[in-house]
Amino acid sequence: MNIPDNIFKAYDIRGVYPSEINEENLEIIITSIYSHLANSLKKDTLLIALGRDMRISSPALFEVAKTTLTRLGASIYDVGLVSTPTFYYSVLKYGYDAGIQISASHNPKEYTGLKIVKREGKNIIKIGKTTGMDEIKSNALNQSLTTHSSTGAVT
């Protein structure tokens, strides 16, 4: 399975749909993200806010992310179709451990992507080059992924 290394940016994961990011390689990327979050937050199961933008690719990618995360043991809170600032606010306001927003922000419509955050106390930390993106990238590209054996839920 091909995952282009250039989709891992300084502050998000972003690429053209479906040639660079698609339903098939998103499962590996999400697994790598979950492994990083579980390890960095020192938790076996996580409560994760999952949001999406209005791009045509977002519903299908949301389903893959949701299915993968629950298979890994996460409890997912579907924050729905939201802007990225609203997504950030929901992670902090409602005390989720972390969040993943399916969005390519200001990029043209053929793009899609993922913005990742984790909560530390009363702060959210954006996952980027200095806060875990290199680990996520390495694990996804090498497919050296941690497996988790519980089943989560969606609320």
Strands 47-52 and 75-81: parallel
Please give the backbone phi and psi of residue 23, each rounded to the nearest 5 degrees, phi first: -60, -35
Contact 114, 102 (CB under 8 A): yes
User: Which structure tokens are listed for 37?
Assistant: 């979050």
């993922």: which residue's tokens?
114
- Tell me which of 57, 105, 138, 149 is the catalytic residue: 105
Q: Is 105 a catalytic residue?
A: yes
SS3 percent helix, strand, coil of the chain, rounded to 5, is 40, 25, 35
| φ/ψ (deg, to 5) at 48 | -120, 125
CB 91 within 8 A of CB 51: no
Residues with catalytic roles: 105
